[in-house]
Copies of this chain bind each other. A is one copy, B any other.
Amino acid sequence: MKTYLDCIPCFFRQALESARMSGAGKKGQKKILNELARILPKISLTASPPEMARIIHGMIRDMTKKNDPYLAIKKKSNRLALNIYPKLKKKIYHSRDKLLMAVELAIAGNIIDYGVKNLLNVEMELAKILDEENKAIKKENKTIFDYDRFKRDLNQAKTILYLADNAGETVFDRVLIEEIKENYKNKKIIYAVKEKPAINDALREDAFDCGIDKLGEVISSGSDAPGTVLSLCSKEFLKIYKKADMIISKGQGNFEALSRTKRSVFFMFMAKCSVIAKEVGCVIGDVILLYHSEKGNNG
């Protein structure tokens, strides 16, 4: 997916937030916004938003010398999510369709996203997910939800590549992966995180902190883009990407990067901005389980 003009104000918002997270003072923050204003007109909008974000956050890293400004946030997100892990399991245990509940929770966990919304009170959002009577997600928000196809493909797949999104969300991924391993025997799970810090995206250490390594192989995309931008991924990753029987892709960033890919992917994310909502044909707040076929078409 290309970058829309509406993404530009959002890049400035993200840059300001990241500058603050990096400990820049007011003058430093202004300098970063000025630098963004200088470089942005030079970047072609044919690049996807994660490619743009990678350049912007790289520029901030160079200016502030802060390698991983979201480290504390990521650790906190993991901790918060691990705290509610027993409740997530209980929720699934009491569900009629356990896999469906696990899928819904995995998407609900995508609310932990500091790239899109900065004022989001993650603790409050997580409490909301757990608080609702049985359902993790309201029916009216499931406008695009290819669950039947998901189950069918899951049944046939041997190797599943799972593209991670944010730290903390990894615990919700774990719950889904556990459910898959429980219900479908002999599945090989490969969980792909980012190679280096990319906003609050999960890295290897987050996957390990959240116990994913006990369920499958943890690899990296080979890149520091906050989305799976194939042209930036490692050869090793690309080999697995091409060969995997099934891909589960979490989050907006991965969707933005892969929305035109030529292989089949199940995208799972919450639609958090008007640009994405327009792109997939839903409204903000919708929970998306979108089957993208190998022909590059949706549906």
Contacts and interface: CB of A to CB of B under 8 A. Distances in A.
Q: How many copies does the complex hold?
A: 2
Contacts of A9: 9-10, 12-13, 16
A299 interface: no
B38 A26 contact: no
A33 interface: yes
Contact of A16 (B5, B29, B38, B45): B5
A40 interface: yes
Say whether chain A's binding surface is mostly helix, strand, loop, or mixed: helix
A40 B41 CA distance: 13
Contacts of A144: none
**How many interface residues does chain A have, given as a range?**
20 to 34
Contact of A5 (B10, B33, B37, B119): B33
Contacts of A33: 5, 8, 41
Contacts of A155: none
Which 8 A-B pairs rank lowest in CB-CB distance, beginning with the nearest? A37-B37, A9-B12, A9-B13, A34-B41, A9-B9, A37-B41, A5-B29, A8-B12
Interface of A: 5-6, 8-10, 12-13, 16, 26, 29-30, 33-34, 36-38, 40-41, 45, 119, 274
22 contacts: A5-B16, A5-B26, A5-B29, A5-B30, A5-B33, A6-B13, A6-B16, A8-B12, A8-B16, A8-B33, A9-B9, A9-B13, A9-B16, A12-B12, A30-B45, A33-B41, A34-B40, A34-B41, A36-B37, A37-B37, A37-B40, A38-B41
